């Protein structure tokens, strides 16, 4: 009886730890760049749940060094340097396993998009990108292009899909996961994700996971944005088909662009966490507070921390003693 109870306790604890890790490993960094690279230390420290990042390019970030401890996800942004970008991703270490393609092809270059026609994108995808997929013996899990979270984005995807099957009637443009952006309030976000999931997976026997690589509530004050985040993060953590997401706003308030507004910023003008930043980093293992900075947190280690493991083992040991 004693050993049955002990193993039951161990099983429950293991299940809890695995479930917690599965939720927290979704969060990532949309790397904008900053004059002070140490701003990112707090996002890369031991209590942070961050496990991956992207920077709209195929070239990884070099500073701080701790970026090397999490997965870099390259992005083939546009068609202009596609051959050079493909050469670059072949040089990336094996830790990089996922590849994003074509940033907001339905949007103008002035607004950060790649402005690619569906036909041109399909031609490049079938000829040069699809052969790299694990489905074709390659090393990469590849996404379909990341459009804006709008009706024009969905129309672009439909036209892209048609062009893909015009080129390859049997396979079209095979993808391993979905990538998208969304800027807006929570109800609109939930609606958009449902629309995309239905479009990609509604008539498919194999469900593709989804990455929201840019998400934020633009043009609102910090209080309204925090309310939106408080609803959004638990929703994304629990939504089974959402595999990864990253908030658009790891920069100081003064570095926010005019369109998003400074309410999205995760750092204040001193490089300390805003309330929004503290919320984004907080997990079941640790609660961050507004005002914390890299100088207070950067020495904590990384990822699955020793402190977390010790805490779990301590609980198991106490239960072991009590149940003897």
Give one word for 120, left, alpha or beta, with left for phi > 0 and alpha for psi -120 to 50: alpha
Q: How confident is the model at residue 19 (pLDDT cuts 50, 70, 90)?
A: very low
Residue pLDDT, tens place only, 160-172:
999 999 999 999 9
Q: What is the model's pTM?
A: 0.86
Please determine, for residue 55, whether its predicted confidence score (pLDDT) is greater than 50: yes
Q: What's the N-to-C CA distance of the chain in angstroms?
A: 10
Residue 324, pLDDT score = 54
Q: Kind of pairing, strands 141-142 and 98-101?
A: parallel
Q: CB within 8 A of 305, min separation 6: which ones?
A: 46, 47, 285
By percentage, how much of the chain surpasses pLDDT 70?
83
Tokens representing residue 287 in the block = 């609660």
28 strand-pairing partners: 52, 246
Euclidean distance between CA atoms 210 and 119, whole angstroms? 23
Span 34-62, mean pLDDT? 93
| In the chain, domain spans | 28-303
Q: How many CA atoms lie within 13 A of 203 on its CB side?
A: 1
For residue 137, pLDDT over 70 is answered with: yes
Mind listing the pLDDT tens digit for each residue in 208-241?
Answer: 999 999 999 999 999 999 999 999 999 999 999 9
When mean pLDDT is compared over 27-36, 98-107, 285-294, the highest value belongs to: 98-107
Task: Give the number of residues written for the chain.
Answer: 324
Instruction: Provide the token pair at 295.
Output: 């100088």
For 28-303, CATH gives 3.20.20
> Pick from 285, 283, 281: which is nearest to 315 by CA?
285
């Amino acid at each position: 009886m004693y050993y049955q109870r002990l193993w039951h306790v161990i099983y429950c604890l293991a299940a809890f730890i695995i479930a917690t890790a599965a939720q927290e490993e979704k969060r990532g960094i949309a790397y904008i760049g900053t004059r002070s690279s140490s701003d990112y230390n707090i996002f890369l420290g031991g209590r942070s749940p961050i496990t991956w990042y992207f920077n709209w390019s195929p070239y990884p970030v070099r500073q701080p060094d701790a970026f090397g401890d999490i997965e870099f996800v390259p992005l083939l942004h546009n068609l202009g340097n596609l051959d050079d970008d493909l050469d670059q991703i072949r040089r990336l270490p094996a830790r990089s396993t996922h590849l994003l393609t074509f940033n907001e092809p339905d949007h103008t270059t002035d607004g950060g998009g790649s402005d690619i026609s569906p036909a041109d994108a399909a031609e490049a995808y079938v000829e040069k990108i699809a052969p790299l997929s694990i489905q074709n013996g390659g090393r990469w899990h590849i996404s379909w292009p990341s459009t804006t979270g709008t009706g024009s984005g969905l129309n672009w995807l439909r036209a892209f899909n048609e062009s893909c099957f015009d080129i390859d009637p049997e396979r079209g443009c095979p993808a391993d996961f979905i990538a998208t952006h969304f800027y807006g309030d929570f109800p609109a976000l939930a609606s958009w994700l449902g629309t995309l999931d239905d479009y990609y997976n509604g008539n498919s026997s194999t469900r593709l996971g989804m990455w929201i690589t840019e998400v934020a509530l633009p043009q609102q004050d910090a209080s309204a944005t925090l309310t939106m985040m408080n609803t959004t993060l638990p929703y994304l953590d629990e939504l089974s088909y959402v595999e990864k997401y990253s908030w658009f706003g790891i920069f100081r308030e003064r570095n926010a662009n005019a369109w998003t507004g400074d309410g999205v910023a995760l750092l204040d003008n001193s490089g300390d966490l805003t309330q929004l930043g503290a919320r984004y980093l907080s997990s079941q293992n640790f609660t961050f507070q507004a005002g914390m900075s890299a100088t207070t947190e950067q020495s904590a280690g990384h990822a699955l921390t020793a402190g977390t493991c010790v805490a779990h083992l301590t609980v198991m040991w106490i239960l072991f003693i009590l149940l003897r």
